[in-house]
A and B are shown apart, each in its own frame.
Chain A
Amino acid sequence: MRDRFSRSIITVAIAAVAAGAILSVSITRTSAQTQTASGRTPAASAKSSATSAAALKTSWGEPDLQGIWTDESDTPLQRSPKYANQEFFTDAQRAELDKERASLLGRDRRVERGTELDVAGAYNAQFMSVKHTGARTSLIVDPPNGRIPPLTPEAQKIAAADREFRLALLQSTETCKNKSVGCAGGKYDPTPSPRFAELPPRYNTARMNRRNNPEDGALPDRCLTGGLPEFGGATGSFRRIVQTPGGITMFYDVGQGQGWQRNIVMNGSPHLPASIRQWYGDSRGHWEGNTLVIDVTNFSAKTDYQGSRENLHLVERWTRTGPNSLEYVVTIEDTTVWTRPWTVKQEFTKQSDEENGVYYEPRCIEGNYASPGLMRGQRMAEAAFARGEGPDPRLSDNATDFVGVEDDPLQ
């Protein structure tokens, strides 16, 4: 059989040469390419190493990264200092953490009912997932202490100025009067700050206690969130990867209608010109053996990842480590923000294609009652105050939330 195949190739080849054209041969598919059903338990090996799964290839011979992938366990980004340089939990530590965290499930994760910060249990255990504790003590694997490197002096200044501004907007609220953790570093002053009339020091991306304009909103409230790098959050983090010869696309579903697409450019061409900045940067990929390496630059100045904006540079490495596992490594650098690059490693588990548990409908804006509602509310409060019929809106805290989250022993 092989002989006949080769001979037919030869004939075609000769004709192609004669005509000076390209030869492309139809694919012979091996049968064992179908994906097996997902496992719901985390991958067996606690110490996952990037074992190359040479057999898992697409029908055209590339490593197969296709499928729906998510991290099925919870791992904090940074390692709690008490674990020092310990990279993995012991089984006992994991079991203990699972026990503690399970008891959180019944609780409302906001402060007591009736306080200004209560949102009536809107974000309870139904909405936010608590997954099994993962094997690693942190997603960060480098530096060896599992923590983000120190900020540069410049970045520290910027963060401080930003924090000062936000605290100024809170200084007349109950939050500061009660010395809530939401006012840490600030102070109470019954007179609203004159800084209410100022622009923030930089393009605003986070929640702040003012709603004069849409731009005062946090990016998520404006349906402008989602971004890279994406490690997951309380509302889930799924990525569906589809490949074709020479092309890879990833659709991300991170809940709350905030999904996005990535079309990885694989043709070796250089990055976009520096004048073109994008929310999700510019992703350029190539294969190194069985690993897909993606270089991401050209971020917009309106994005913000832990303080890094347009100078953010990511180098991702995606490797299929088993039928149900994919290792994601990303080195993160921004010389204007961190004193050195740092690296995250995360293991994804394949989800069942048939269950199709991804709802890629980035329809945040289509149902964004909150953003206009917040602004309308402020306008009405201001009007009432101007008529002498309501308190000064600047005495209310409409920014702080999730004050109870720090209860999670894993965070």
Chain B
Amino acid sequence: MRTRLLNSIGAVGVIVSVFMFLKPMGVTVAQEGSTTSTPTPKTVTSLKTPWGEPDLQGIWTDESDTPLQRPAKYANQEFFTEAQRAELDKERAALLGRDKRVERGTELDVAGAYNSVFMSMKRTGARTSLVVDPPNGRIPPLTPEAQKIAAADREFRLALLQSTETCKSKSVACAGGNYNPTPSPRRAERPARYNTARMNRHDGPEDGALPDRCLTGGLPEFGTAYGGSFRRIVQTPGGISMFYDVGQGQGWQRNIVMNASPHLPANIRQWFGDSRGHWEGNTLVIDVTNFSPKTDFRGSREKLHLIERWTRTSPTTLEYEVTIEDPTVWTRPWTVKQELTKQTEQENRIYYEPRCVEGNYAFPSMMLAARRDDLAFAQGQGPDPATKDNATDFVGVEDDPLQ
């Protein structure tokens, strides 16, 4: 009997060592610029974890720039031609030397703070848009209700700007608004919905934009120009966790529930929703609901519903697809497809330190400045703060031909 026991121990020992040997390879490929021109989703069955699941592990990012929506001139053209890409690369490279804000000395200038060192400009991607459905590559129309809400919201923000230079000089940031030297009485109002974006008032923390409050980061995450978008995926039998690093200390975690239990009860709402996943063949399908009404994705709040599909398409690529729906906001669901490229483990170029709050000097400073402006004005020693624009920025960004 003892001999049998030892035998089984030995057997286990052998199997373990075999698994160690089979640890995923293909992690050393350098990541300079994508080379494939027309990627098609191939399922790669040999890339599995030691316990036999498709292996999505690693640090992943989109190595090229692709606009969310397709510029109208491309109609239903899904991919750029090589010539188009080269031309775009040339035009965009010329932007690199320029400061991306308006002229020095104007109110909106921030002294070159956000220059090309801070913001990345990557090569133009293969696709004409991240949106692949509808076929025109553009987000579907808003519902009448959502249009109303967006209009009311815009009206409110414009009212807060109406006495500023921005509106006086008819800057694009005041589009749809008008100038009025008398500050709007709406400055005493609460916004119609929970505020998430920058507005020209700093009466309290809730007047701040979510990013200013270190409450940003959210799903779906496609990346922006402001610092990249990296996700590290680690798997275990029955569990997957993803750590997102989107720069500016605004990272977050996702712990995908894989045990087929139902979504959280409806009364529990979360900033990053509730992610429930399962495997369909080689694709990880994640259903995300239970968003908080304090989140906002292009107008969609607590009714946002995402269905993600993650597929490892090669040793160095992962295809991320997400269908986005909110029947109270868009007239139909829409789908985004993005190809992510694996980054080297050893270089470990992901700085997961969501330490936005720990260094958030900006936010309290904006409020302190506002309180001082209020006081100075009350003492007759300063202008009416309502005539200052402390909201608008990045007026020059629209220069990027890719956006």
Q: Which positions in A face B, CB cutoff 8 Å?
A: 15, 18-19
Contact = CB atoms under 8 A, between A and B. Distances in A.
A116 B2 CA distance: 86
Contacts of B5: 18-19
Nearest to A17: B2
B12 to A, nearest CB: 14
B1 interface: yes
5 contacts: A15-B1, A18-B1, A18-B2, A18-B5, A19-B5
3 pairs of A and B residues whose beta carbons are closest in the complex: A18-B2, A18-B5, A18-B1
Nearest to A20: B5
A15 B4 CA distance: 12
Interface residues of B, number: 3
Interface in B1-41: 1-2, 5
Contacts of A18: 1-2, 5
A229 B1 CA distance: 58
Nearest to B6: A18
Contacts of A19: 5
B198 to A, nearest CB: 53
Nearest to B1: A18
A248 to B, nearest CB: 39
- Please report whether the interface of chain A is mostly helix, strand, loop or mixed according to DSSP: helix
A18 B5 CA distance: 8
A15 B1 CA distance: 9
Nearest to A18: B2
Contacts of A15: 1
Nearest to A19: B5
A402 B255 CA distance: 68
B2 to A, nearest CB: 5
A18 B3 CA distance: 10
A20 to B, nearest CB: 10
A406 B5 CA distance: 78
A228 B2 CA distance: 55
B325 to A, nearest CB: 56
Contacts of B1: 15, 18
A311 B5 CA distance: 57
Nearest to B3: A18
Nearest to A15: B1
A19 B6 CA distance: 10
A18 B1 CA distance: 8
A18 B2 CA distance: 6
Nearest to B2: A18
B3 to A, nearest CB: 10
B215 to A, nearest CB: 42
A19 B2 CA distance: 8
A61 to B, nearest CB: 31
B10 to A, nearest CB: 15
Contacts of B2: 18
Nearest to A14: B1
B70 to A, nearest CB: 67
B364 to A, nearest CB: 40
A185 to B, nearest CB: 65
A15 B5 CA distance: 11
A74 B306 CA distance: 79
A13 to B, nearest CB: 13
Nearest to B5: A18
A19 B5 CA distance: 8
B81 to A, nearest CB: 70
A163 to B, nearest CB: 59
A18 B6 CA distance: 9
A19 B1 CA distance: 11
A83 B158 CA distance: 101
A180 B392 CA distance: 86
B7 to A, nearest CB: 13
A18 to B, nearest CB: 5
A183 B1 CA distance: 86
A15 B2 CA distance: 9
A359 B161 CA distance: 73
A19 B9 CA distance: 11
A226 to B, nearest CB: 45
